[in-house]
Chain A
Amino acid sequence: GESVGLHLPTLSVQEGDNSIINCAYSNSASDYFIWYKQESGKGPQFIIDIRSNMDKRQGQRVTVLLNKTVKHLSLQIAATQPGDSAVYFCAENSGTSYDKVIFGPGTSLSVIP
């Protein structure tokens, strides 16, 4: 299940199940969104992105859904594997300058073998 810990929201899923990680973004003017995966001791890695003129985009085993009405982004991971255990961040870009990229606090995903 999902819980809010002292630092990061955490999500525990059984291997093979689907995972859904949610993100509420802050600025209705944001026009570009990215999901990153960060494994322990490493830098964030790009997973998938979506622009504001779309509401869904699919990659390999991952799907991003964008709901602009409620400013909500979700990342769905199909058939979750142990290698998916990591912290997942959403990022939104709301302006013409680089300092308008805002990262969410992240969600920690644990996959139970």
Chain B
Amino acid sequence: NAGVTQTPKFQVLKTGQSMTLQCAQDMNHEYMSWYRQDPGMGLRLIHYSVGAGITDQGEVPNGYNVSRSTTEDFPLRLLSAAPSQTSVYFCASSSDRNTEAFFGQGTRLTVV
């Protein structure tokens, strides 16, 4: 059972470039979310989805887009990378809002 798989693990982008961070889960979870983690701060919610075809914004959505065409996949798109988006990104899934979330291993993104 793979759980939550994120790719890539590491990425360096130049300012202005776009890219997609991939997230897939094999637990048939309805809830999926993207967080960013910066030093000294807790995880901050970027976007989330409560099911295929449904997405919503979290605390820090600017500069990011998401879509949820299947239950399994929840990609995060950076439209035009900025140095402020340098962070570690985590994807998570859960079966309900009031249950534990399963996290991927993270993507360490550096924007230069």
Interface residues of A (CB under 8 A from B): 6-8, 31-32, 34, 36, 41-46, 49, 51, 89, 93, 96-99, 101-106
Shortest Cβ distance from residue A105 to the other chain B in the assembled complex, whole angstroms: 5
Q: Would B40 and A97 count as touching, CB distance under 8 A?
A: no
Interface residues of B (CB under 8 A from A): 4, 31, 33, 35, 39-45, 48, 50, 56-59, 90, 92, 97-106
Known contacts A42-B106, A99-B59; is-contact A6 B40 (Cβ 8 Å): yes
Question: Of all chain B residues, which has the CB nearest A102?
Answer: B42
Known contacts A44-B90, A45-B103; is-contact A105 B45 (Cβ 8 Å): no
Contact of B41 among A42, A46, A105 (CB under 8 A): A105
Chain A residues within 8 Å of B35, by CB: 103
A-B residue pairs, 5 tightest by C-beta: A43-B103, A7-B40, A103-B42, A46-B100, A103-B43
